[in-house]
Amino acid sequence: MTGKEIRVWMDGSFDMLHCGHAVAIQQAKEYGDILVVGIQPNTDIVVHKGPPVFTESERHRLLSGIKWVNQVVDHAPYGTTTAILDEHKCDFCVHGDDAPILTNPDDILWKLHAVHRLRFAKRIGTSTTKIIQRILDRSLQSTSDGEVQSNGSAQQTVSAGESQESEFESSHFLITSSTMAKFSNQKSPQAGDTVVYVAGAFDIFHTGHLDFLEKAAALGDFLLVGVHSDRVVKWRKGPVQPLLSLQDRVLRVLATKSVSDVVMGAPYAITQDFMDCYKIKLVCHGETPVKATDGGRDPFEVPTRLGKFQEIVSGNSTRTNDIISRVVERREDYERRNKKKQASEERANGDRYPAADVRN
């Protein structure tokens, strides 16, 4: 026996639940045995940050699918108190290290820190604000009608030499082997296991992705997910995407409970050699249109011919372009939201609490 079970509390808006959130959640789980995550309601988020992109039910569903989360609490108040920790039998709260230095005894975080019930997670990776800004910026470079196209591709005109990679580099996030190890299940399929393979962009991970992956996982014992490279995603979906780098997208997929392992920069067309290498017994695809390869061939030709291909009907019609449209259609609201968020961050810039000082 190792003694008392440690229960950890973490709360937030978790809008567009991205890999930056996932990294923080993983760090929070390292502090204890049970991680309880509170979701702030839309009414509070609108007041403090601006309109959320995802609904409360979507955010709940996505958090429930993160492998380090043991319990999700809806309508968590904006600001954690000792009363909340006591109500949910949690020992302490974990907050991002982007919090201001604790100098005000009236501050909620100060009160938690004063009774040794506050820990910090180092904030790295992308942010909801950055993702929204990318959508806003790229939609301005759209075709003459300036709208997301009805065929599900948000088209834009990109000036010669413009590179999406420069935007990704600005996220100050580089994947390391230690981060990957913490996200990995670190297991391989066993003899006799049915390895199911799916692939996609998984750009702005949403409930449609989650439902699809869970349906695929139920068809076998080991779910292997291929995440397409930035180049392949751009070729498939147009220059607006990907909005997140390959590293961001891989970590977000790996954070999902139903996923066993990931192939980074997976090929678009499935070959016999690829299936043999990973011992794939079933290849699945959702209901999204399939684009032919440059040679005009079906990328699923080989598994289809072998009788190892299956289309999955997830029952969830949400697509990445639906999420993009939510932002584009309320451009002014989200521009105001980002300006407000950026202004608050600039005011507190350089006045942050160093996470390492309070980690232990």
Q: What is the pLDDT of residues 222-252, one digit of tens each?
A: 999 999 999 999 999 988 899 999 999 999 9
Q: CA-CA distance, 295 to 280, in Å (whole number)?
A: 24
Strands 92-96 and 280-285: unpaired
**Digit-coded pLDDT (tens) for 250-272:** 999 999 999 999 999 999 999 99
Over residues 136-150, mean pLDDT = 58
Residue 308 CB coordination number (10 Å)? 18
Question: What b/e string do you get for 116-125 counting C-beta neighbours within 10 Å, with b at 16 or more?
Answer: ebbbbbebbb
**Tokens (6 digits) for 14:** 């978790």
Q: CA-CA distance, 250 to 277, in Å (whole number)?
A: 20
**Digit-coded pLDDT (tens) for 294-327:** 999 999 999 999 999 999 999 999 999 999 999 9
Amino acid present at 212: F
Domains of the chain, first to last: 7-127+342-355 (3.40.50.620), 174-311 (3.40.50.620)
Q: CA-CA distance, 344 to 340, in Å (whole number)?
A: 6
Question: Whose CA is closest to 23, among 128, 95, 122?
Answer: 122
The structure's pTM equals 0.87
Contacts of 265 (CB under 8 A, 6+ apart): 227, 228, 229, 232, 246
